[in-house]
Structure 1
Amino acid sequence: MIILRPAAERGHANHGWLDSRHSFSFADYHDPAHMHWGPLRVINEDRVAAGQGFGSHGHRDMEIISYVLEGALAHKDSMGNVETIVPGEVQRMSAGTGVTHSEFNYDTTGTTHFLQIWILPERTGITPGYEQKRFDEAGKRGRLRLVVSPDGADGSLRMHQDARMYAGLFDGDEAADLDIAPGRLAYVHLVRGTATVNGHALAAGDALMYRDEPQMRIQAGQDAEVLVFDLPPLAA
């Protein structure tokens, strides 16, 4: 079974300084049909206006991944991390027993465009943690590059869930396959451009949810950037 999640059907909130599209129920957007997909709980496509950002706020018991598309996102947290995330970099923060952080766009003219991704951890009460790493374009060109995993395989960031996140760039004849093990779920989110995934023509913001499917195939991309999630069947 493959379920199409069109970009236009996502939740939307515009706070002036923040324009956000919600793939799953979040804040004032509630859709019982789209609460999560396995442990994948949040994909918010956020655009933060120049000189604006999220003030210090708390999280707990969540794996939070930031994936910047344009601009830069300044991060500061209660663990002592002070970093700036730019396109090509991926950040993973394990909130665990509790952490506070802020995220800000210090550019005075440009918008910061990024994806905020939350994945439920395999267990609660873990020690908070933080990782950030750059994944170059060549490693994602025409293939799915593992960027987050439960064991840090292939130089990926490590998260506390039996899930894997891949990133890929596709143009023209470039194509990639991902085998989906029996009993596993998968989710593909087209970040930008266009591509055909298992025969579905996708545009930016569109997604596909997979259950009881053996394989995902990505092809016919035009300036396509995709994120793919290999997930256990049930939230922890």
Structure 2
Amino acid sequence: MNRRHYVLGAATLLTAVSVPALAQRGDDDGEFVILHARYGTDRNHVDVTDRLREMARRDRRVRLTNDLFGVDPDPGRDKYLRIYARDRDGRERRFDYPERAWIDGGQFVAWSGGRWGDQNYNGGWAGNPYRDGRDDGAYTILYANYGNPGREVDVTARLRELARRDERFRMGNDTFGVDPDPGRDKRLIIIARGPGGRERSFEYPEGSTVDGAQFVGWRRGNWGR
């Protein structure tokens, strides 16, 4: 099983448009090819595809801060990075990252190589998923463990309780009410089924933010074994 850490925002299925074929698969073999990226709010947002490509060449993981793109398209308001991408089946998906979230390029094809982006892409902003309260992510949770290899406990039921209360929460030492490996840093591992039935793992170290917007039925809690 391919284990990678994704601290992402919402992955929303969009209407497919004519775009280039998937980039050549090299040393980074993600599931999605990036077509376009925008940063801002519903009323003001700018194209940051080129800037994101520069950052991707330097780091596999990037923290979304206020000055990351060198522009503030809507001063005084919370902004989002919105990435439009295409999966292996040719469907478009949208990934939304709020400020201070971590972007993990591991799920994007040729992330570090920068061989992505479509100059002719004309997709729109299409609303704010956090304001609109959507619950239609791309991955269905199968189960969740907390701890370290060899010292893990199943926390699926507890995660379901947390999901029903909040779309996003910060994970701390007492989030799950158990310490399976005292004195060591632990992590939450979520195993989920994605597009095409493929399973993926999402890893969250202590102190990180878990964003459920990318998981199907997160708030409803109708997932997990």
TM-score (norm 2): 0.30
Bigger relative CO (Cα 8 Å, ≥ 6 apart): 2
Q: Which has the higher helix share?
A: 2
Q: Which has the higher strand share?
A: 1
TM-score (norm 1): 0.29
